[in-house]
Amino acid sequence: QPITTSFPSGHAASAAAFATGVALESKGWGAAVAPLAASVALSRVYTGVHYPSDVVVGAALGVGAAFAVRGIVPTRSQLPSPGRPYAEAPALPGGEGLVVVVNRASGSAGLATLLTDALPRAEVVECEPQEVRGALEKAAERCRALGVLGGDGTINRAAVVAVEHGLPLAVFPGGTYNHFAYDLGIEDVHDTVRALAAGDAVRVDLGRFSPGLGGAKSGFFLNTFSLGVYPELVRERERWASRIGGWPAGVLAAAKVLRGEQPLHAEFDGRKRALWMMFVGNGMYRRMGPTPGHRRDLADGLLDVRIVHGGRVPGARLLAAVLAGPL
């Protein structure tokens, strides 16, 4: 029997927080999880570890924590509908006239088969990463709409080819993060399939940058253009992700890059400045928690520029920028 109140119950708080978080995302799964959470709470009383009041207050704290976190980092259902101008595009039921290029290295294993089943009239071309650009160029010469299944980098290359050939682009999310597809409102392959059948299309902006002197050809970006610490961090993360997983790889990459990175030297209006990072987003990013993570309008005609100035201790400066702003 307990000799103290053990107030409140941590087990009940954890169970209630988890169940509430699940219910906020999916009512069906929330209903399935709720009895399990209740059994955890009741078991604390049954075994004599907690008084009923401990469990009730602990559960209340857990529910409150779930709603507090949702207030800081909103779910997609809370975000306003994206603003995008609609565009004319051919309706392609069954994928007739569509050629989809699939990057085999984009974490899209199994999705190519799903795509073939969902779009029996489409042509699906699977290729290795180094072959993607050539495959896109060939596909653009024989299709009414160009499709791409892969991550943000693959989609970026496909967008450039689509613009050069004047073709609509069908985006199928198949990467690790799929930032662009999610900002379009595309959660899975079937969302794009439905849009193709209805001829439902939107216009989006395409960012452009110039590599500098020497008459080099301009580059384009759908999501972001970055210089400094961030691209180095991404390269290190991708190097380790396949071995240890995405999040551990990100932590390892941050620890390595922030320890040894040197600042950039940039010139703004004739003044030279040292920078740790320059981030340019295609469209204005909205805050989701401590970082800019969502665009409500992919055709707002704006660039979202964020800079972390140079100086000593880059890791501390970047962390302070994230906590204070964000960035």
Reading the block at residue 286, the tokens are 């909205």
Is residue 58 a part of any domain in this protein?
yes
Average pLDDT, integer, range 130-139: 88
Residue 286 lies in a domain: yes
In a domain, 87, yes or no: no
Tell me if 302 is assigned to some domain: yes
Parallel/antiparallel/unpaired status of strands 169-173 and 145-150: parallel
Q: Is residue 83 in a domain? A: no
Model confidence at 18: pLDDT above 80: yes
Whether residues 192 and 252 fall in one domain: no
Note the pLDDT tens digit of each residue in 286-297: 765 555 567 878
* Angle in degrees, CA 102, 150, 292, rounded to 5: 170
Of all residues in the chain, what percent carry a pLDDT higher than 70?
Answer: 84
- Same domain (yes/no): 236, 276: yes
User: Does 196 lie in the same domain as 115?
Assistant: yes
Distance CA 280, CA 220 (A): 12
| DSSP secondary structure, 127-162, as one string | E-GGGHHHHHHHHHTS-SEEEEEE-HHHHHHHHHHH
Q: Across residues 223-229, what is the average pLDDT?
A: 83
Q: Is residue 209 part of a domain?
A: no
State whether 190 and 115 are in the same domain. Answer: yes
Domain identity same for 58 and 97: no
Q: How many domains does the chain divide into?
A: 3
Model pLDDT, residue 168: 93
Q: Residues 156, 57: one domain?
A: no
Residue 162 near residue 146, CB atoms below 8 Å? yes
pLDDT of 179: 81
CATH of residue 151's domain is: 3.40.50.10330
| Model pTM score | 0.67
Reply yes or no on whether the pLDDT at 233 is more than 90: no
Q: How much is the mean pLDDT over the chain?
A: 81
Domain span holding position 24: 10-72
With respect to residue 51, please indicate whether it lies within any of the assigned structural domains. Answer: yes
